[in-house]
Chains A and B, each alone.
Chain A
Amino acid sequence: MPSMPSRMDSDLFVTGCGVLSAVGQGKDAFLTALLAGDHAFGVMERPGRNNGTAFLGAELSVLDMPERFPRKLLRTVGLSGRAALLTLHEAWEEARLSDADPLRIGLVVGGSNVQQRELVLKHESYQGRLDYLPPTYGLSFMDSDLCGLCSEQFGIRGLACTVGGASASGQVAVIEAVRLVRSGEADICIAVGALTDLSYWELQALRSLGAMGSDRFADEPALACRPFDERRDGFIFGEACGAVVVERRATAAERGVEPYAKLAGWAMTLDGNRNPDPSESGEARAIERALTQAQLTAQQIDYVNPHGSGSGVGDPVELAAIRGCGLDRAAINATKSITGHGLGAAGTVEVVATLLQMKASRLHPTRNLEQPLDPEMNWVRDKAVAQAIEHALTLSVGFGGVNTALCLSATET
């Protein structure tokens, strides 16, 4: 006999989201840009991104901070902090969290060492005059400063922490938020995939490691980011930040909030590997576990939002895992072809991209997919397509053998 939803329901939903990317700030602009297949790639120009170098990437335009954030605060808040405040603001308003009990709200920030560029600028500026280093550096050098900023500004009083899983951090944060609500430690938990603000040091190392492109398209930034294409030569960085609100249907209903989708299944697996190398079996295990938890078969998945970074080794391994799990019927595109790779933010931003596409019943194109690695897959290539999505799967992969999968299901209306 069906029962009324209650606080003890195990089913969890996303009830609000926020997003920032170089192609669009806020959900409406972001979805429009995704469906149009826009891009904002070029030689990055932010201070601290160059040191005789010219790295390609996508940088945010100026952030328009709402008046709720005091000027006194913003003076000492860097790009990652501003992005977190702004995306949380969008998600918070949508989920009407001002009407929720702040003692029962939690926050999980995904990402590690997210403010490297700001730190490099500080180090360079105060080299040789250390006595005058601004005291706020003692706060801002820690990732958990984002928890402090957000909890102070939104009055969150439940619990907050940061979690890391390299490029899967954003999805690890969503999974941790799910766990905290499931366990009863919070009624509502917000996951923020933090803007990973790279300096030229990290960019250089990611190039040296062979992870980041682009030697091949150095003079053609629009062509450089090409996940799953034969001529890809690594990921292209893109500044981004995402936020999603996780809770049970009953708590959302108390505030009159309709969910986006159900968080039907999730999984995190390890390859036992410190390196960047991906593992087909590890990725497949994450997919299978998420499907099992969601009580779905691969054939029921309508859409896969893959990690798809443009990595030389990672892309074919991911496709092999997807095919091996029987997901070749599902439509597939690559959000990073449009946004670039947001690293710590990517997993959350791609959950938002998936939710927005489900709501719009449209799938965005994949930029620069001229010669797909696997032409038999059900690619969304040059143009957006209309497609009803009942069940979607979004995947993330991180250095250190981290694989995550998250299954999202449309809610019954």
Chain B
Amino acid sequence: MTEQRHAEIFALVRSNIYEVLPDVEGREIKSDDRLTDLGANSVDRAEIVMLAMEALSLHIQRVELSGVKNVGELVDALYAKSHGQ
């Protein structure tokens, strides 16, 4: 895992969160933040994931992300997928 790449994906997810949830824009996003706690409903969560997948040109089945519990785990899953793991 290159830390820089991981940090880039985290920054990407953060910007996607800001886009879908403009009310938290500028707020610090931490790895253990849950999207639900940031104000995301189920559609918002799907939109955030889709925006990240699109930016990374990833194809991930929704079921593969079903166990993801917080922002950090989402970033980990996207990172793993983008490195073919």
Interface residues of A in 89-146 (CB under 8 A from B): 129, 131-136, 139
Question: Which residues of chain A are within 8 angstroms of B44 by Cβ–Cβ distance?
Answer: 72
Q: Which residues of A contact B8 (CB under 8 A)?
A: none
- 0/1 interface trace, chain B 59-76, chain A, CB 8 Å (1 if under): 100000000000000000
B20 at the interface (CB under 8 A from A): yes
Contact indicator A72/B23 (Cβ below 8 Å)? yes
Q: How far is the CA of A2 from the CA of B19 in the complex (A)?
A: 60
On chain A, the number of residues with a Cβ less than 8 Å from chain B's Cβ atoms is 13
Whether the Cβ atoms of A72 and B50 lie closer than 8 Å is no
B50 touches A134 (CB 8 A): yes
Fill in one digit per residue for A62-100: 1 if any B CB lies within 8 Å of its CB, else 0.
Answer: 000000001110011000000000000000000000000
Closest residue on chain A to residue B21 by CB atoms? A72
Q: Which of A70, A131, A136, A139 contacts B53 (CB 8 A)?
A: A131
* Chain B min CB distance to A69 (Å): 12
Q: Does B43 belong to the interface (CB within 8 Å)?
A: yes
| Cα–Cα distance between A139 and B43 once the two chains are bound (Å) | 9
Complex Cα–Cα for A76 and B20 (A): 9
Asked if A136 contacts B23 (CB within 8 A), the reply is no
Tell me the residues in window 225-270 of chain A with beta carbons closer than 8 Å to chain B beta carbons. none
The answer to whether A75 and B54 have CB atoms under 8 Å apart is no
Q: Is the CB of A135 within 8 A of B43?
A: yes
- Which of A70, A71, A76, A129 is close to B47, meaning CB atoms less than 8 Å apart? A76
Residues of A within 8 A of B47 (CB): 76, 134-136
A131-B59, A132-B53, A135-B50 known; A75+B19 contact, CB < 8 A: yes
Enumerate chain B interface residues (CB-CB to A < 8 A).
19-23, 39, 43-44, 46-47, 50, 53-54, 59
Residue contacts A-B, CB under 8 angstroms, 5 given: A72-B39, A76-B43, A132-B54, A135-B47, A136-B47
